[in-house]
Each structure stands twice: as C-alpha cells, then as structure tokens.
Amino acid sequence: VGSLNIWSARVRQIVDEDWGIVEVKSVPRDGKREFSFRFFCIFNKSDVWLENGIHVGEHGFFYEKPLNEIVELLQPVDIVARSIIREKGQAMKKALGSTVEMQALCVSLKPSCIPQGAPRGTRVAGGPGAFGGSNRGETPYMFKKGLEHKLNVRLAEYLQASGKVCHNLDPNLIIKLEEKRTIKKVHTELKNEKKIHKLTKSAKPSPPTPDVGTATIDSQNNIVTPAAALADPKMPLYEKLSNSTARVKEYCTESVGLLENLTKDWVCLFQLSDCVLIQGSKPQDLYPVGSKVQLNANLIDSCNRIQYIASCVWSKTENDLILPNVIEKNMISAPKMDLYKEINSLVEKKEGGVCPSNLPFQLDLKMGKVSRILDDNFGIIKQDDKMVLFDTCDFWTSQEATAAQSGKSLHSLVSVGDTVHLHAALVQPSSKIPFLATAVWLANPSPFPPGQCPVAIRRDKIHTDKIKIYEMVSRCSAMKDNLPGNLANKSCVYDQRGLVKLSFQLHGSGLDAAIVEFSKDNKCFAFFLANQSLETHEKTRICVPKTKVVFNAVPIPGGKFPVTHIATAVSHIHNRLPSSDDTDKIVEIAMETLKKVMQHNLPELTDVGNAKPKIMSLAVSAKTKEAPVVDCFPTGRLVCMFDESAGILEDHRRELAYFEKTDLNLPSGLEMKDVVMVMTRCRDVTIRFQASQVLSGPVKMIAHNGTVVISSNLERYFPEISVKKALISMKPNSFDLNKIIRAKTAVELYKEDKILTPDYIIDSGEFSSTLVKPKRYSSSSSSAHTNAVSVKKQLKTVAVPSSKEVRTAVKQTGKVKNILNDNFGLLEFCRDDLPTFCLFDTFDLYLEGGKTAAQSELTVANVLALDMEVCFHACEISPGSSVPWLANGVWRPDISSQPKPVPQSKITKEKLAVFKKVSESCEVLLSGVLVTASGSGQQLEETSGSTGTEASDMKGTIETPVVGDGDEEEEKTQETGNSESVSKELCQKRNEDLFSTKANTRLEVNATEDARIDCYDVKPIVAEMKVKEDQIIKAEETGNLEVEKEAKVENDFVLKDNVDTSDVECLVKEETIEKGGLETDTLEDEVTALIEGDAVGPKIEDTIKTCLNSDVSLSLPELLIDQNTCGTLDQELSPKVAILSLSSPAGAKALLHHDRMWVTDHPMFGGFGWEVLTWPAEQGIRVNARRVRGFEEFDYQVTFAHVGVSTFNVEMGDYSYTTELARFAEDKQEVAMLDSQLELFYSKEK
C-alpha cells in the first residue's frame, strides 16, 4: 500500500500436466518504462497451494489431477520464488537474454497471502555483514535443509520435460537426473552404514535368547518380566544418564513429576525447577503427560520403584540441545533426597494398594464367572462385584497357546456361568467395566498344572493397542446392555481409522462435509461435518478425498441412509480422540445436513462403496453470514479493458474485479484512451472501489454501480477533468442481474486473453484522445516555480566548476540558518569565499551513540537551534541552484561519535527526489538573500557601473552546465548588455518575487455565508498575476511607462545605488484578486524593504513556512484508515462534537461527532462525556476519516473511530472487527449523513 510500483503475478502458461509458468510484473503508477519489469517463473503442480490452504503436493486426490484442472490461465497468484539465473537480488532488473528467471517454491492461488505451512523462509536480520548477509542488494533467508537440492532436481526435471533451452541459467543449480538417483542411492547406503553413537548405552541387554532378569515380549506384544526377574529385580542400570530420551509419565504434585524411558525399564523423579522453561508459559503446558523430553539424571537405587533423580529436563525437538551431565550423586541436595524418598514411598504404596476409587490396581490369580459373551472374540467376567473384559487373545486353552492362536471362538470354549481363573489390571476406574484381563483360563479343567499359571502383567506393561481395543469395547458395552454381534457396523466406534471417500462443497469454495469409509471386512461409511475436526486448522484437510482420518462415530438407526454412522469427532493428526460432550446435538445437525444432501439424488450416494473419490458442489442453504463487501484501498490498478465500456480492476489484495465505464466518477464524454491515461499515467492518483464476489475463476468480483472512484488530485495532471463526488456502497451485490451476465461474458474473453492492455491502448495509435499530455506535477506552486527561474537568472554570474565530478564537503562547519519544519533544516556555510546553503533532515542528524534524530523520534528543533554551529558531511547535488548541497551527516561539535561521509553514488533516488522537491520550495525564500548577497559581491559590482567598459566585463561570464539529477535541462547562456538591461531584469525579478510571496503568504479563507470554496485553488490568482507581468514587460519594451488605464500607479520602485531611476521605472498596481474568498494585496512597505535589503530574514522564514505548509496541505490523503491512523482528544467543542489531533498526517485535525465513536464493545453514549477518550488505551483512538475543505479548525471528518477494541489487529484491519463493530462501521459510511452533520456544524459556527 502506497508503493509507486505495483507487483503482481498471474499464471501465464500451462506447459503440460505438471508444469506451468507464472508471469511476475512490476507496474509503475506513472507508466514509466524504466521502472517496469517482467519476469517468468516456472512451477510444478506440487508447489501449488489452493485458496483454502490445501497443499496439492500432500494430497493424492489433487496431485493426480492435471495442472489445467488445478489452476486457470491468467489467474492471479502469490508466489515465493528464487532466482535461477546468474543475477540475484536487485541485479535481476538488469538481466538480459534470460527466458526464465525464477523458480517457485510456493504458488498460492489466494493472491493476497502465502498460506501457513508454505515454504516462506526465515529472514536473516542485520543486512550485509550479518550471518548470511550480502552486499549485492539481496535479502538473505533461511529455509529447510535439503530444499536447495530438491529444487535443483525439479529444475532439471522441468528442463527435461519442456525440452527448451533456458539461457543465462546459474551453473551452480544445474544437475543431471542421473545424479539425483545416484545421490539418493548413496544417501541410502550411508544411512544403512551409519553408526549411531549414543551418549548412554542401552539399559537392557539384548542377547540372542532371553536371560534371567531380561524383559521379553510375549505373543500378544505384552512386555513380560519372568518370575525370576521379579525375585531379583536388580537391572544393569547406569550411574548417569546424559541426553537420554523419556516420556512424562505423570505429575505427583503441581511441581513434581515422574519420567519413564521408552522401554519402561526405569522411572525418574523430576521437579519443575529442573526443567528448561519459556517465559510466560506454564510448565505443565510445555511438558504435558506423554510428551517426549531429554534429560540428565543420576541413579539413586535400582531396587526402588523410582530409580533416578533428574538434574535437567528439556523439550525434545528437531534441533536438540546436547547438555552434558556434570552432576554427581553426592551433589544432590538433602531436601531433594527427602522428596525422592517420600514420592518413592507413595508410589510403592499406590502400586501395592488400592486406588482412590477403592478398586485394587491388580487382580492376581482371582476367580470369577463368565457373565456375558459379547461375540466370538469378547466376553465379560464378573469377579465379586467387579467387571472384567477379556478376549480370545487372553483365554489360554493350553500351556502353549491361547484361543486366538488356536483359531477358536469364545462360544466353542466357554459358556455364561463358567468359573475361570484370571489376572487383570485396572484401566478405567470410572467405567462400568474397569478391569482388563491379561490372562484367563478355565478353573475346571485347568490347562495349567498347580503352581505354573501365567505371569501377571502390570498395567504399565500392557500394549497400547490392547488398551485402545478395551476402551472401544468397554464404552460400547456401557452404553447398551444388549450389543449385536457385529461391533464394526452396528455400534459406536472410537479412534477408528478410515479413508475419506466423498466430499461436499455446501457454502462456497470450502469443503464442508464428507463421507469416510472404514472397516476392512465389511465396508461401512460415516458422514461428518468439517466443523467436527479436533483441530481448527485441519477443518478443510479432513474433507479432502483419499485423506486418512481417525474418528469417533455413533450408528444411525434405520437403513434408509447411504451411511451407517455419524462421526462426532474427526482428526488427521491425532490417533486418540476425546469423547464428545454434546453427541445428540452433533448428530442432529449432521443428520439435517445429510438429508439436504440426499435431496439432490446424487448417483454416488446410491452406491457409495463403488463410487470414485470425488468433490461435489451442492446448493445447500445454510445459516451463514453473507460474504463481506470488498472495499479496495486507494491502491487499485487498471489491468485491462475489453472495449469502450468495460474492463478489469485489481484491488489491494491483487484480486480481480469486473467494472464498467459508467461506474467511474469521470465525465462520460472521455474516450477509452483518456480513461486509461487517467488511471495509469498519473503517479499519485489513486483508485478505490467496492465489489462483491459473485463469480468463479480468475475474476471473482464485480464492482458496485458507480463506486469506482478516481482521487480528486487528478486535476493536478488534467485540469480540464472534473471528477464527480465519491460514492461508497457497502451493501452486498449493489448491481443488477444484467451486469452479472455481461461480466460472465467478459470473463470468458479474459480467459482467452482477448483483452486490451493499457500500454497497447496508449501507444498503438489506434485510439483517439481528447486530453493533452499529463503535466508533471510539482509540489511547489506556479509562482514558486517562476521565482525559481528568476533566481537561476540571477545566479548566471556565479562561476560554477566545469568538471562534472560531484564536489563533497567532509567535516565542514556551518550554522543553522533556518528550521523549515520538524523534519528539515537549512545550513549556511562558506565555500570558495561565497555563502551557500545545505539541506538536511532528521535522518542525517546524528546524536550521541550513533542514532539519528529520526530513529529517536526527535524533531530538528529538539536537537538544534537557530545560528547554532554544527559539523556536517555533504555532497553538491545541484550546483548553481539556491540550495546546491545535500547533507549526509550532521552533528553538533560536542558529539564524540561522528558519522562517516556517504558518497553521492550511495544516496538513494528517493532521497534525491525529496531534496529536489524541498530545495525548489526554498528557492522562493532564498531569492531575496541571494539578490542582496550578490548586490554586495563582485558580480553585481561589475553590473552596477554606468560605463560601457564595466558592462562589457559581463561578456566573459558564462554559466556552466548544472550538475544535477538529470531532470533539469542544462543551460548555457552568455549574458551581454548594459546596466539598463540588467536593472530592468532585476526590477522585473523583484516584482515576480513580490507577487509570488504574496500568493504564498497572503492566501486566506473567507468563509462567508454565500460560499465556501477550496482554499487551495490558486489557479485564478496565478493567471491574473501572469497578465500583470505581461503588461509590465510590454510597457518596458515599448518604452511606455503607463500600462492600461485600469492599472493605478501607487509606487515607483527603483534600485538604489545600482540602478538609475531615470532609466527604469517599475510600476506595480495595487489590486485585490477575489475568487472564492481569496484576497491578495500588494504590501508596499514589504516591497520597499525587500528592494532595500531590510528585514529579509523574517520574510524568508514566513515564506518558507507558508510554502511548506501549503505543500503539506496539498498532499494530504483523501481518506484515512484505522490501520495507520491514531488520534488524541484535542478540543471539546460541545457535548456532541470534538476535535481530534491525528498522528498521521502529523498535525492534521479531524472533526468527530459522538455517535461515530465506538468504545470497547458499544457505541459511545451521548451523555457519558468526552473524558472516556482520555483514558489510556493500548492501541489509542483508531480513526477512519475523509478529507474536507474550507474549515480552519480541521482537515478531516471522522467517518467512524474506535478505542479499546482488543480484537483489532493493525495488519488485518477491518478483517479483525467484531461483528458488532463491523455493522457499526458499515452504518457510518453513508455520505448523506456525513454531509448533514458537517452542514449542521457549519451553520452553528456561523
């Protein structure tokens, strides 16, 4: 926003099914070709990210499609890319002979942003000299390791697939595809041969056959410790653990927890004081139960339940820190040892006692009866009043095998009421079936001899998959007493894995619902909505066909639906899901949506099992918010025209919108070429519009009727064009149906590239124009420009070095001549025995410590005072002008840290442009000083003589070419003449200065009852002054000292000492020029003082301040938005009206009506008082305002403002509004109400 060059990208070519080319263009606002650049960027379909944030390369459903089904030609995109030619950074602008310049890392089909997760890189701060820095105009970024090789391989694949020769490629990026396969093979071999050196040895020996004391895994994946090991629990644990991996097992208290290694061989005590913490984060959030950590620990007692005490714990990440263990056992503090003993005692009691629910943790060698057989695999045992779940994997039929290993079902082995022996562990005390059996066998006949029963397995040794099966079956059993035999398709399922089959688009471009297929034996299907995703960021991803998901679901009663279940929780990244709190409501909403989907009679729903994965778009009504209106910032751009009546615009987000000529606030009689010139060739003329999204494809929006607004400063370039009043329409779809039909037809032409570009319309010569070439607008007024020319004429006698080398001044001393405003100042010093001037700003003004005044947010007046002596470095940018020098470092003599001089070649073009602009304004006020100084110098002494000899000395004085920035034409003039001609010229020049000074300093707003006219319209004054000047010059040439009769002679101005009054007589008519309340009077006393050289200083100061203030007023933006504008209460005019002082533009004021103020979460109450705006707020008063003219008290009128809105984000702007604030803001956009309140204020002021 605010950039003079607009960068945009669009899909230019689809090479084949996998490759495409993006065109990246820089479009300058003023149409200058030297700032227009175009690059081509190759991309693969795996680099594409869809509008909803889905990465094509990670989803097989999209990746299998050809590229032309993923993107469209001329579709606007956003990209992250690298240079593949020899030139990098800024040097790419000068690259020649390249066919393709860039390679994409990411192509986002949402042109306003790069989606999260895309390769954007990490910017390396610091610039040249920093890590990764460069002095070649490049910005260093860090990316994922290995990305460069991956991109090089893709580049080679593109070259092979396209068969084209790409010139000027960087040779460091070119590899052969054979190298790719070789490198991959070598990497695999190295990985296989790589030796892993651990800081700690394995805590468990692994001999070929299990030894006594070794933990082994049984056929059911249970970790079993033999009885011999239980009798002798001593394990070969090491004295120290350094950089070992473990999981957080549990928290005993708020500050103490237990860690367990991945093989569950040892337990370690840790305190939160041992953990590496992040400021502002809760420790238990950083180290939740189950998370992996790294630790250093010392062995205390291998016989205890807790063997180690940790000395340091930190998170396990990809970039693991390696912290050596330097703590010895004897260094552990006594309080920590006492805590260890206490916690160890509690754990031992817990594992050998009962849990808080009065249930034992273990049931070892207990007897029970079979209470229920659920199906062929699962059954329930009742042990006293406790329920135990068991399955065929736990039911031993012999000493060597279980029922599952023998392939037998429970119905063939046991019946309800049979007595059995069992080992079981407590899993879920709150469940109706709290225990899970680890071993079950018949009591009579028993398959085991006395004393040789299976070993009891503890809860922490049970395999996680078995726990999941228990949780699923136990919850189903708890919900219903009588369960059907097939749990897979007629009961609730939990943590079920499935594959998404069909997806539905119900509300626009996003995926809103899907059907997932699960169960290998019998195909079952579950329907779910995207908002049932466990994580918000995976809402869209879980609906993509062929995506693997995990879900919980409940069955649907009846058989009239194409699915058997409704999913209540879905995730792509989690394997275990929590139970839903409001299952009934979830099922109700999902069933309602499913019925609406079924009303479309889709053939895919009749046979879901044989349907191919597919995304279907359906018009299903839903209670959703209407799409918001896009309000383009004043940074829009004309992309193309179709004909005289319609074209395409681009908004601030680089989205495209269809518009028609009748939507413009321009006169209807303009030709198409005129319209294009207005919209593309005026540097600071902006385009704003409102549009609604009603189309699909590359052009998605249609501009609202009459809302395409060209800014009013267009008159600076084309005075003959008068723009209409701006129309703002925030109502959605503010256009008729016929416009939508015309837009669709035009978009088809756009897709076929049948368009007229602005360059072609202007340069081809096929189109006519009624406008003249646009003026180059300067910030100085016309009178100031006239003065500048006059001053240059006076400087022709000043010798200028003939060399084109730029002169510099290093550690020059001078004094502060004038403080122009908060940011600029003038220095005066002597060079070649002549006084001269140097311009500087706060970016050049250095303070103690090396910081500038701009960095410290100080003004010139905060640091310097008038006539203060300073030191500075400077370059002579514009020799021969009134302000030829530009400072690049200014400091007070008492500053110890002095800046280094900057060569002229290192000064940016922007700084030179600012120098030129401000120095032109200074020429007006310095003209009097230069004339006076010249009058006392040698040059004017040569012209003041009355003899021909003295006058003839002027013939040898020739003005040399001015060394500037190239915008001013070089002038070579040889002056001849006598004292009379010189005197006339000086007299004429002073009259011009007089009128210029008056035009800049005496303009006032005469707010009468009849009219209030723009106070900055000085064109009538300038025209009248030009007529007067022509009359005077004509009178002098003809020798007639009387001008027209209307001109009354009030004073005769003469040049004392230098000019003979009998030779030249200058006549000035005192007149009043009135137009729109503007008055300009001649000031006789000031003119006399100016000619005599008296009191020059105050007039210069007044003139320069007036010029600068006028320049600032002319450049005030038409609209202000709350993203970059804050305000403070400046003045209370009444209980309903106040004046705000704005932060940007600095010094500007705005009129605020109380009903346009939003405070926290409600509108401001009329009787509450303005003191609410003085309370401290984090983001200040955020202001949206429009420019108004004709009022001395303020420059803007607030459309709406807000304070204390915590959700407001400066980067997101109105997208971060609350619903209530957005509605409030929309209501306040009505122009008629704004005008009414402004008129009411004006009438009261009168």
Averaged pLDDT, 841-860: 86
CB 807 within 8 A of CB 944: no
Residue 1121 has pLDDT above 70, yes or no: yes
Residue 956 has pLDDT above 50, yes or no: no
Residue 199: which pLDDT band, with cuts at 50, 70 and 90?
A: very low
Residue 164: which pLDDT band, with cuts at 50, 70 and 90?
A: confident
What confidence score (pLDDT) does residue 24 get? 92
Residue 847 has pLDDT above 50, yes or no: yes
Instruction: Using alpha carbons, list the distances in angstroms from residue 550 to 472, 475, 526, 591.
Output: 13, 17, 11, 20
Residue 187: which pLDDT band, with cuts at 50, 70 and 90?
A: very low
Range among 212-226, 986-1000, 1174-1188 with highest mean pLDDT value: 1174-1188
The angle formed by the CA atoms of residues 849, 854 and 858, to the nearest 5 degrees, is 85
Q: Strand 122-123 vs strand 19-28: parallel, antiparallel, or unpaired?
A: unpaired
3-state class (DSSP) for residue 558: coil
Q: Which residues pair with 566 in a beta bridge?
A: 527, 554
Instruction: Using alpha carbons, list the distances in angstroms from residue 733 to 691, 704, 705, 729, 1047.
Output: 8, 7, 9, 10, 61
CB 721 within 8 A of CB 761: no
Residue 1032 has pLDDT above 90, yes or no: no
Q: Where does residue 40 rank: exposed (0-12), middle (13-18), buried (19+ CB within 10 A)?
A: middle
> Is residue 389 within a helix (H) or strand (E), and if so which, with residue range?
strand 386-391
Q: Which residues pair with 23 in a beta bridge?
A: 10, 40
Averaged pLDDT, 677-698: 89
Averaged pLDDT, 102-127: 85
Please count the helices (runs of H) and the strands (runs of E) in the chain: 25, 49
What confidence score (pLDDT) does residue 1113 get? 45
> Is residue 690 within a helix (H) or strand (E), and if so which, with residue range?
strand 690-693
Residues 6+ apart with CB under 8 A from 390: 378, 379, 380, 381, 422, 436, 437, 440
Averaged pLDDT, 509-530: 82
d(CA 1172, CA 1174): 5
> Is residue 284 within a helix (H) or strand (E), and if so which, with residue range?
helix 283-286
Q: Which one, of 507, 537, 523, lies nearest residue 565 by Cα?
A: 523
Averaged pLDDT, 558-573: 85
Q: Where does residue 76 rank: exposed (0-12), middle (13-18), buried (19+ CB within 10 A)?
A: buried
Residues 6+ apart with CB under 8 A from 385: none
Averaged pLDDT, 844-859: 85
Residue 659: which pLDDT band, with cuts at 50, 70 and 90?
A: very high
Residue 1148 has pLDDT above 80, yes or no: yes
What confidence score (pLDDT) does residue 1114 get? 46
What confidence score (pLDDT) does residue 705 get? 93
What confidence score (pLDDT) does residue 309 get? 95
Residue 1090: which pLDDT band, with cuts at 50, 70 and 90?
A: very low
Look at 364 and 1242; give whichever has higher pLDDT.
364
Look at 1027 and 940; give whichever has higher pLDDT.
1027
Q: Which one, of 920, 1121, 1216, lies nearest residue 2 by Cα?
A: 1121
Which two three-digit tokens encode residue 420?
A: 């059995």
Token pair 């349907």 in the structure block, residue: 611
Averaged pLDDT, 640-669: 92
What confidence score (pLDDT) does residue 1007 get? 33
What confidence score (pLDDT) does residue 585 get? 86
Look at 924 and 1004; give whichever has higher pLDDT.
924
Residue 929 is given by DSSP the state: H
d(CA 779, CA 784): 10
CB 725 within 8 A of CB 701: no
What confidence score (pLDDT) does residue 287 get? 86
Residue 248 has pLDDT above 60, yes or no: yes
Residue 366 has pLDDT above 80, yes or no: yes
Residue 476 has pLDDT above 70, yes or no: no
Range among 796-810, 838-852, 1208-1222 with highest mean pLDDT value: 838-852
Find the range with the poorest average confidence among 115-124, 422-431, 975-984.
975-984
pLDDT tens track for 985-1008: 443 444 444 334 333 433 333 333
pLDDT tens track for 877-897: 888 888 899 998 999 988 877
CB 829 within 8 A of CB 836: yes
Residue 806 is given by DSSP the state: P
Which two three-digit tokens encode residue 147?
A: 């990305």
Q: How many CB atoms lie within 10 A of CB 528?
A: 30
Find the range with the poorest average confidence among 50-54, 161-165, 218-222, 675-679.
218-222
d(CA 261, CA 244): 8
Residue 973: which pLDDT band, with cuts at 50, 70 and 90?
A: very low
**Backbone phi, psi, residue 228, to 5°:** -65, -35
What confidence score (pLDDT) does residue 928 get? 53
Amino acid at 217: I
Q: Strand 378-383 vs strand 885-891: parallel, antiparallel, or unpaired?
A: unpaired
Q: What is the number of alpha carbons within 13 Å of residue 544 lying toward its C-beta?
A: 21
Residue 169 has pLDDT above 60, yes or no: yes
Instruction: Using alpha carbons, list the distances in angstroms from residue 1072 to 778, 998, 1078, 1080.
Output: 27, 11, 9, 6
d(CA 1034, CA 497): 97
What confidence score (pLDDT) does residue 351 get? 62
Does the pTM surpass 0.85? The reply is no
Residue 691: which pLDDT band, with cuts at 50, 70 and 90?
A: very high
**Backbone phi, psi, residue 188, to 5°:** -65, -45
Find the range with the poorest average confidence among 800-804, 1072-1076, 1173-1177, 1194-1198.
1072-1076
Q: Which one, of 1111, 797, 1127, lies nearest residue 977 by Cα?
A: 797
Q: Which one, of 310, 297, 326, 313, lies nearest residue 238 by Cα?
A: 297
Range among 121-130, 378-387, 1072-1081 with highest mean pLDDT value: 378-387
d(CA 985, CA 982): 5
Residue 405: which pLDDT band, with cuts at 50, 70 and 90?
A: confident
What confidence score (pLDDT) does residue 929 get? 53
Q: Which residues pair with 22 in a beta bridge?
A: 11, 41
Look at 659 and 281; give whichever has higher pLDDT.
659
d(CA 1218, CA 1213): 11
What confidence score (pLDDT) does residue 494 get? 82
Q: How many CB atoms lie within 10 A of CB 83?
A: 20
b/e map 897-930, b = 16+ CB within 10 Å: eebebbebeebeeebbebbbebbbbbbbbbbbbb
Instruction: Using alpha carbons, list the distances in angstroms from residue 87 to 21, 44, 242, 609, 956.
Output: 20, 23, 48, 55, 51
Which two three-digit tokens encode residue 1174?
A: 């003085």
Instruction: Using alpha carbons, list the distances in angstroms from residue 648 to 636, 651, 942.
Output: 11, 10, 65
Q: What is the number of alpha carbons within 13 Å of residue 914 lying toward its C-beta?
A: 14
Which two three-digit tokens encode residue 964?
A: 């500037």
Look at 981 and 761; give whichever has higher pLDDT.
761
> Is residue 89 within a helix (H) or strand (E), and if so which, with residue range?
none
Residue 784: which pLDDT band, with cuts at 50, 70 and 90?
A: very low
Averaged pLDDT score across all residues of the chain: 74
What confidence score (pLDDT) does residue 704 get? 95
Range among 646-655, 1013-1022, 1092-1101 with highest mean pLDDT value: 646-655
pLDDT tens track for 299-314: 998 878 899 999 999 8
Residue 765: which pLDDT band, with cuts at 50, 70 and 90?
A: confident
Token pair 């990411």 in the structure block, residue: 106
d(CA 1187, CA 918): 24
What confidence score (pLDDT) does residue 509 get? 61
First to last CA, the chain: 40
What confidence score (pLDDT) does residue 412 get? 86
User: Alpha-carbon dihedral of residues 744, 746, 751, 756, nearest 10 degrees?
Assistant: -170
Look at 1086 and 687; give whichever has higher pLDDT.
687
What confidence score (pLDDT) does residue 1229 get? 86
Residue 642 has pLDDT above 80, yes or no: yes
